């Protein structure tokens, strides 16, 4: 529906050329009653916004705010908090598994060799979980620093 709207853009020859929004931009639903329009060329943004406002659909386009150093720092702090929470969850899962293993050991429901094997497997999974949390955090911080 939005992609079919016509828009006038400056052509390479200096004149105006009519084309569809779908030919010069991508329209992506954002959820609910909003959507995002990604223009391939920054010069087309103003023309696309004008076409959206002039349409019969009562659309009000809004430009995305540029990322400032302050918002970037806030996003990095949120990423660190989320990683810390994920690390705590991995640690809590490890502690719960250790409690179960200890309970089984005290009740003598499991052979000691099997218990050691399960404990070693649990430790490996916990290490992998912590490593994965660190990897995701590093990737997020790297992406936010750009």
DSSP 8-class letter at 12: T
Our CA dihedral for 51, 55, 57, 60, rounded to 10 degrees, sits at 40
DSSP 8-class letter at 9: E
**Domain definitions of the chain by residue range:** 6-54, 69-145
| pTM, rounded to two decimals | 0.57
pLDDT of residue 77: 95
Strand blocks (E) in the chain: 6-10, 16-20, 25-31, 34-39
pLDDT of residue 13 exceeding 80, the answer is no
pLDDT tens for 64-101 read 877 788 889 999 999 999 999 999 999 999 999 999 99
């Amino acid at each position: 529906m939005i992609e079919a709207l016509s828009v006038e853009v400056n052509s390479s020859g200096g004149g105006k050329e009519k084309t569809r929004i779908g030919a010069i931009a991508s329209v992506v639903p954002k959820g609910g009653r909003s959507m995002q329009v990604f223009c391939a060329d920054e010069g087309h943004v103003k023309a696309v916004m004008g076409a959206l406002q002039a349409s019969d659909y009562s659309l009000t386009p809004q430009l995305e705010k540029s990322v400032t150093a302050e918002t970037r720092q806030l996003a990095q702090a949120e990423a660190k908090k989320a990683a810390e929470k994920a690390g705590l969850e991995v640690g809590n899962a490890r502690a719960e598994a250790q409690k179960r293993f200890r309970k089984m050991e005290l009740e003598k429901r499991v052979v000691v060799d099997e218990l050691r094997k399960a404990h070693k497997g649990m430790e490996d999974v916990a290490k992998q979980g912590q490593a994965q949390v660190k990897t995701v955090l590093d990737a997020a911080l790297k992406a936010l620093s750009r």
